[in-house]
Amino acid sequence: MPPDKDKNRKGPSNPRDPQDRRNFIYYYGLALLVVLLLNWFVFPRMFEPPVELTSYSEFLSHVEKGEVAAVDLQPNQIVYRIGEGEETRLYKTGVVEDPGLAERLQQADIPFAAEIQETPNVFLTLLLSYGIPILFFIIIGRMIARNMAGKMGGGGLSFGGGQTGKMYVPDDSDKKSFADVAGQDEAKESLLEIVDYLARPQRYEAVGARCPKGILLVGPPGTGKTLLAKAVAGEAHVPFFSISGSEFVEMFVGRGAARVRELFDQANKKAPCIVFIDEIDTIGKKRDGGVIGNDEREQTLNQLLAEMDGFEANNGVVILAATNRPETLDPALLRPGRFDRQVPVELPDLNGRVAIFRVHAKGYQMEEGIDYDLLGRATAGASGADIANIVNEGALRAVRMNRNKVSQADLEESIEVVIAGQQRKNAILSDEEKRIIAYHEIGHALVAAKQTGSAPVHKITIVPRTSGALGYTMQVDEEEKSLVSKNDAFRKLATYAGGRAAEALVFGDITTGAANDIQQMTRVARAMITQYGMSDDFGMMAIEEQTNPYLQGGTVTNASQETLKDVDDQVKALVQKAYDTAYGILAEHRPLLDRLAEYLLEKETITGKEFMDIIEPERSETENETI
């Protein structure tokens, strides 16, 4: 690795650096200008008392009336005072050849004085007016500069004005490696080549191979894109500079292009190294040729494109970037020769979630026999950051319970806390409301249990949560599913409808408790018809397309109003069919529904095993109707 030319710099400025010398001259020139303006315009007006301008004849009139209290005869003007104390007013007038003025003032018994013109001490005047203020500005400026240098530590990528990027040194105690990254085996495999190139570039040069200039990590938030970049730096033992896209927008004001050039100059000095730009979509959005909302951002993007074209692929600088909105990036940024490779960092599968639980559990005191496989199945769709939060919530619960180790129950409860919030222990519900909620939740669970192929029930509770849920039913699949069949989707719709169907069957009335169920049913049913081609009428026609898939964005419609009306009719019919299916299942097993609801009212929370022990003897052997 080449020697670090900047390692002896103690602060943000270096007199030998032409850029710092220009900053030095600019700062003190500005300080001198401020002092001059203050002395010429501000200070004289601050210390001058308010004086009214009058004529010489009016001055004589005031003298004759005996209103003048004192007169100051100056070379270029006459200043006189009328009144005493708070009633004092000052006037000034021009000088007129009047030899009898002194005698007139003396006869009127008015005190007067004339200034004695002395030769001023030029050195003392300059010292007091300019020297001391300039010295004051210099002292304050040096104190600010020293303070900024102490905060920044002189490290990182230096941009004009003392701004720095955050530098991660692999030799630190928090050194990251691929062992710290779980659930992203495919992404790690794609990045191993970069690690090998940074560690042994001669192998690639001998063959004539070029390392990718830029690698784009794309995936949902919390999947470990930044952690992967740090692990690459740790494995390759090279410096790692982390810069956020929002910092670019903040820093590059007026000097965007120049500072981008400085970024690449600094990176070349630190080579071999890794520059990681997080949230690159902040500055890399598409240029659509319309009205420019942020011209500075576009200029910054143009310079970034030019610089990535200008530096050599084998100079030891690798640009890593991350985004969860790849569809918004400018195509020029993604072409080969700039960001040559895209590495998906997706949500982990079952094995990945189990591995992530084990990695995060190493930092905590855990009890023996933790079922990580169950935790992984209960957290389908969770990211690495979600799992880290779940493990930490479990540790916090163990502390609240006065235990020094985290148990299985702590982790399962923390999953519920992340999903539905903390338990509302002081929530006041009437007996009738509790009974309705119990039947509602048992309706979900019983419909799920009586349908072949539904996910097993893991837990049922009527304890309110801070998210607003008055109860919930948790289902946990026995195995990971990558595909959802049409029958699977319909069974999910029927399970959602089970709560409302139980209310209508038992009480002959319905409540607002099914609001979230209705939203979920409508969303799934609409997706079946418009996105997944599960409608007999529309077939494989794509009526809607999802936007921002990594951010769970909305949909864009590709159909006419007449088609959308037909879609609404089919969604309504599909939801109604699922409701009728759920109602029929509950009506057929009404005694079992009553028994389970009473048991849940007594216990408030029951496990999936307790639930199955009750319904197992009466489980029907007949399969329910599918689509």
Catalytic residue set:
441
Of the candidates 272, 334, 269, which has an alpha carbon nearest to the alpha carbon of residue 304? 334
CA 389 to centroid of chain Cα atoms: 17
Q: Would you say 68 and 80 are in contact if contact means Cβ atoms under 8 Å apart? A: yes
Query: Per the structure block, which two tokens stand in for 539?
Result: 């077939």
* CA atoms of 11 and 141, how far apart (whole Å): 13
CA 423 to centroid of chain Cα atoms: 28
The three state secondary structure string of 451-495 is: CCCCCCEEEEECCCECCCCCCEEEECCCCCCCCCCHHHHHHHHHH
Query: Per the structure block, which two tokens stand in for 51?
Result: 């004086």
Given phi > 0 = left and psi -120 to 50 = alpha, else beta, which region is 533? left
* CA atoms of 151 and 161, how far apart (whole Å): 14
Query: Per the structure block, which two tokens stand in for 129?
Result: 């007016």
Q: Would you say 296 and 252 are in contact if contact means Cβ atoms under 8 Å apart? A: yes
Cis amide leading into 272 (omega within 30): yes
Query: Using CA of residue 330, residue 332, residue 337, residue 338, what is the dihedral sign?
Result: negative
Which uninterrupted H or E stretch holds 435?
helix 431-449
Instruction: Find the angle CA(142)-CA(143)-CA(146) to the nearest 5 degrees.
Output: 80
Given phi > 0 = left and psi -120 to 50 = alpha, else beta, which region is 330? beta
Burial class (CB in 10 A: 0-12, 13-18, 19+), 341: middle
* CA atoms of 471 and 423, how far apart (whole Å): 10
Burial class (CB in 10 A: 0-12, 13-18, 19+), 1: exposed
Q: Would you say 227 and 181 are in contact if contact means Cβ atoms under 8 Å apart? A: yes
Q: Would you say 471 and 511 are in contact if contact means Cβ atoms under 8 Å apart? A: no
Residue 263: CA count within 13 A, CB half-sphere: 30
Q: Would you say 264 and 270 are in contact if contact means Cβ atoms under 8 Å apart? A: no
CA 555 to centroid of chain Cα atoms: 23
* CA atoms of 182 and 193, how far apart (whole Å): 18
* CA atoms of 627 and 22, how far apart (whole Å): 76
Q: Would you say 198 and 370 are in contact if contact means Cβ atoms under 8 Å apart? A: no
- Phi, psi at 379, each rounded to 5°: -120, 40
Query: Per the structure block, which two tokens stand in for 407?
Result: 């148990």
Beta bridge partners of 167: 241
Of the candidates 321, 356, 324, which has an alpha carbon nearest to the alpha carbon of residue 339? 321
Of the candidates 391, 376, 390, 503, which has an alpha carbon nearest to the alpha carbon of residue 447? 503
